[in-house]
Structures are given as structure tokens and as C-alpha cells.
Structure 1
């Protein structure tokens, strides 16, 4: 069995999913290759002993897409895979143009491109996904909401929901005070937000809510972990000394452990890993009700109407003022992750889909 995973993103949630699947499938005795641009995904896969092939590709479509198609065609021709698993809208675009249904193809959008695009670009993305469904043997969505959004856009074909999962051994409850000491953070009420600094992740909405949080909990601190194209602009607009801009850090488990509450202020998601990781660490989550959030969080925190900045501020402040009540939510979240979102269950579900797909192809 030769499986090839193609991904344009090399960081954050998509990369984590690809690494987990590649590792699990390698352990099944399958031949696994990860095809992606240089970066953390390639490095991590290589460390695990998974074969890596370099594919230079940009995040967004453009004039360079033709060259990306040519490069990926060469790579896949040399690998001759039994299954091609495409991760992200960009890999889905280029990969399906290359394969065109001639080999069994799984496509996992990890959030539809048309959910973050508007106007003509968004309409073009919907039209493409409807067309490309003919070259998708199995659509894999990470949440019920993501599948519903695809169906509403007219994307047909066989589809299954396989929720994201996390490593419950790596992400586990830890002492809050010790984590703060390791990070050099003060032992005060602390909210943590982890994510790439881009508009759809919504950190600007959390910053807008933060003064109202401080009004109720004056000694509260906010730690923003991540980097991205909006970092400079958002930092320049924020002169609050209680906000700590940490930048990118791979040791996110320490930040979850240090938090009283973890905040996800996103405008769009597929099914974000941050709430699942925070819950696995026994921390309460406050999030906007975007795709996958209600399905993942359950009763492990507060899920608010998207864009409700005032409600976000109130929910965060309540949990910072009463961390013991927040920890009860966190304990519920840990149990929920162990039951529903263990990465081993995810890997088993995908392996079963691949087996069925190959049987059908033969």
C-alpha cells in the first residue's frame, strides 16, 4: 500500500493532522510519503522516518499555479501511489488537476476556501469545488458543519466526517503555576489565544473585547501565541501592557497549562485543533460558534454567537474571576477528548476509508 499525502500548509493544524496520519499509516506497514513545501511539516515527517518529497507551492492560486501543477505531476508520476490524500484547498486544486480521478483520491479541505473568500473569488472557489467533485473519490470533512457548508455550496460526491483528533499523551493536564514559571509568566489570571495571526482567526476581536475583561478582572493577562501577516498591524494598534505578544512557539502545551481559559475568537474554521488541545490539557474554552466549535467543545466551556464581542468579554472574565469553576469545565473537556477526539481513532477511521476505497477501485 503506497499512500501519498499532499499538503500546501506546513504549519499549524493541517500539518499536525498530516503528521499524525502519516505516522499511524507507517505503523500499519504502509509505504507513506508526504509531499509539501519545505518547512516544519517536512522536518517533522523526516524525523519520524517518513519519506518526504519537496513540492514548492504558494498558499493562494495565481500565475504560478501552472508551474505547481507541473511540479506535482512529476513527483506523483515517480511515486505511483495507490492512494492520493490531498490536504487543504490549494493541494486539492493542484492535486485534482494533476490526478483527475485516475487514481483513488481523498480530498480533505480543512476549511473550504470559499468560507474565507468573498466576492468573485468566493464564487469561483465554489464553482471549482462543484466541478472538482467528479475527481474526488472520497471527501473527508473534519466536522458536520464543514460537510454541511460543502453540500450547501453544491459540492457532491461521497463524503464522510472524520473529526480532528489530538495526542492525549502529549496534551494532558499539568500544574498551572509550574507552567507559568517555565514560561516566565506572572501567577495572575491568564487567558491564552493560540493561532496564526490572520483575519479569519479573529485575534482582533479578542483584542476589542479585552478592555471589558480588564474592567472586571484588573490583574488579568492575555498571552497571544502565534505569528502571521497581521502581527505588525495588530501589535501597533494595541498599547495595553497586559497583552503579551509571544510570537510562534511549538511548545503550545505549556501555554495551555498556564492558562485559566483558552480563547478561540475565529471568524471561520473547519474544526480547530486549539480547543481540542486545550481541552486535552484540562482547560476551559471560550469560542465563537463557527464551523466545528460546538461539536468539539460541548460543555467544556462557552460557545458564543460569532462576532459577539461583548459576550466574549463576559465569558472570559467570568472564568478568569472563578478559575475553580473553569477547571470543572476543563475536566469535562479532558474526558470528552479522550472519548471522542483521540488521534488514534481518527487514524483508524481514515485507514478504514482508504481500505474501502481501494476495494471499490479494484
Structure 2
């Protein structure tokens, strides 16, 4: 009688919600590297663009229905994940973002080695009692993470200042240089923006259309940019809950590209890439833009300074939520093509040397080796956190 041979490969379960944007790209890149290294990779996630992407790489995909925020469905989401865990039997769970981190740690409760990667802290995204509850949860939930992986030292510092304990590791985000590379502006621009004057200065902002990414601040700044550089055009690449509100107030010089499957041509077509976020861990868009040889303007949120070579900080970093300073930085670069070119070259050299995704994958592999060699403690859910779980 034939007996199946047990699979000796370490079994990693990536758990994620959201399934688009930067988090999805991080999960996809890690899955690609881990599959190549011989790990058995499963991704549990809701429907969306992530599932077919990682399935195409060879990962096992398990449907896990979950909303983006905590709510009444949370208990069912934990129960569903428990079923996935029983089926997959992973050696390690890697939970990405606040929601997956919440559900994952509640479902596992330290019984399986667990890596939690917040990709920006949940309590920064909300206010009032919700922020207080989110912070209390993160402080408690840290005991159920074998390692907390932050994408920047600044994100780690924010967690430490907030009183979140645990074992910390900083693994900066990385990009794929073979995908994000320079290309002739004229050629790419005619492909992505047919009918738009190819000589018009072009500013591109890539990100989900939501409060976090600060596109409303950029629109506030755009009035001043249009006065200084009248023929400039702004393209917002992405979709999200704020799309209609932003469209309703945008002037004709602002174009909406919607969600795209490949952001690289939009970076390549830009004269300048702007990301006016209100909070981050370490955004991928600036790294991808710099890898394409394009200069960037960022707000000084977690991870931004670490994304830039030190020489670019004075010209490329502005305070968050300040449209006046943002407009000044954008105008200065739009009016100086030689400076833009120099900053683009500096940014690309920096990203290739410090933010190659292969470096990220190696650092995460080291975290896994450390976690799989240590014990995991199991705990019970305290009653005082039920209010947050159901909020």
C-alpha cells in the first residue's frame, strides 16, 4: 500500500487584509522569494487582486472573508481563520496589517510561531475612543507575536513610544529593480496619457484614494502649483473611498487614472512623484518611483526619511498636512529640470543599494529562522478587550 511522504518543507501561512496596494505587493514579493527558496507558502486572504497573483506564482491560496476594519463579523472571521489553520497546519503564521494582525493573533493565541507586520499602526488611522481601544489592543496583542516586524525604524519608535512591547525587528520595504526601472519619458507618456501635451510638466501621485494618502492636501496645494506652473498636470493613480469626493473638487488640470495593474509606467512618465501621506510605516510608492529614476516629494511621516538618501531630505521632505510647504517643494522641482534629473539619479542609486527586495526577503528569512527556533506562549483573551473586538 502506497503511503504519501510528509512534506518536509516549512509551511508558512501569510494572512492579509487588505489585498491591494503596498501590503499586497509586499506579500507577493515575499511569496515569490519564499517559494523560490523551497518553502511551502499559503496565502489566506479575501477576494481581490492578490489571490490570482500569488496563485500564479505557485502559492496555495485559501479564501478568508474579512472586512478591512473590526466589527460585528470579527468573531466569524476568527472562526473561519481557525478552520484555515486546522487545514493548512502552518509552522509559522505571518500576519500583515492591523486587521489581519488582530484576527490572526486572536485565532492563534501564541500556539503557533507568529510574525506580525503592522505596515503602519492601527491607532494612527483613527481617533477618539477607537484609537484608545486600538492602542490597548496592540499593547495586549504584542504578547501573541513571536516577532513584530516594522518596515522602518521610525515605525518601531512609534510603537515603542506608544507602550507596545515585544520582540522587534526592522526590515525595510524593498522593490524589484527589474520591474521598476527608468524608461524614456516621451515614449511612456504617450502610452499612458494619449492626448495630453507631452511637454506639460507632469506630477504623479500613486496610492489608494483615502485619508491616509493625503490626496486632499495635494489638491489644496495644487492651486498654488497651477499659478506658478500653469501648464502642469497632476495624475492621481488609484481608487478608493474618497474617489468621488476628490473628483468633485479637482480642477481640469487634475486627471484620475483609476486603479491600474502596473504602476511602473506611471512613475516612468512622471517628471515628479508626490506622496503627501498623513501616516505610513514605509510607503512603497516613493521607493518604486526612485527606482524608476524619478525625483519625489514626501511628507515627513514614519519611514519617509529612511526612504531617502540624506542629501535629498532638505528638498524632498515636507511636513504632513501642510499644503503651502508641499506646493513650495513641488514648484521648486518643476521649475528646475536639471535638479530633478540629479535627484532622480541619486534616489535610484540609494534604492538599489538599500531597498532591493532581495535584501528584504533575506531579512525576513532570518526572522523566520529565529522564530522557528524559539517557543511560543499561549494565553487567553481578556474580557476587557471584547469592546474593541466588536467595535
**Range class of TM-score, shorter chain:** over 0.9
Aligned counterpart for 1:351 among listed residues 361, 365, 372 = 365
Structure 1 or 2, whichever has the larger Rg, is 2
Residue range with higher mean Cα deviation, 208-217 or 317-326:
317-326
Q: Which residue of 1 aligns with 2:246?
A: 234
Tell me the SS of whatever aligns to 2:367: helix
Q: Which residue of 2 aligns with 1:295?
A: 306
Indicate conservation of the 8 Å contact 1:176/1:257, yes or no: yes
- Map residues 68-87 of structure 1 onto 2, 5 A cutoff: 68-87=77-96
TM-score (norm 2): 0.91
Q: Which residue of 2 aligns with 1:223?
A: 235
**RMSD between superposed Cα atoms in Å:** 1.0
Aligned counterpart for 1:156 among listed residues 149, 162, 165 = 165
Tell me the SS of whatever aligns to 2:18: coil
Q: Which residue of 1 aligns with 2:266?
A: 255
Shift of 1:81: 0.6
**Deviation by residue 1:44-86 (Cα, 9 ceiling, x = unmatched):** 0011111100000000000000000000000011111110000
The CA distance in 2 between the partners of 1:48 and 1:200, in whole Å, is: 30
Aligned counterpart for 1:214 among listed residues 204, 226, 233 = 226
1:276 aligns with 2:290: no
1:54 aligns with 2:55: no
Tell me the SS of whatever aligns to 1:361: coil
The CA distance in 2 between the partners of 1:21 and 1:267, in whole Å, is: 26
The CA distance in 1 between the partners of 2:325 and 2:143, in whole Å, is: 43
Shift of 1:360: 2.2
Unaligned runs of 5+ in 2: 1-9, 377-391
Shift of 1:308: 2.1
Aligned counterpart for 1:36 among listed residues 17, 39, 45 = 45
Q: In the comparison of the two structures, how many residue pairs are matched?
A: 361
Q: Which residue of 1 aligns with 2:118?
A: 109
Unaligned runs of 5+ in 1: none
Would you identify which runs of 4 or more consecutive aligned residues in structure 1 move more than 4 Å? none
Higher RCO (C-alpha 8 Å, min separation 6): 2
1:306 aligns with 2:320: yes
Shift of 1:361: 3.4
The CA distance in 2 between the partners of 1:359 and 1:281, in whole Å, is: 39
Tell me the SS of whatever aligns to 1:360: coil
The CA distance in 2 between the partners of 1:17 and 1:349, in whole Å, is: 13
The CA distance in 1 between the partners of 2:52 and 2:171, in whole Å, is: 26
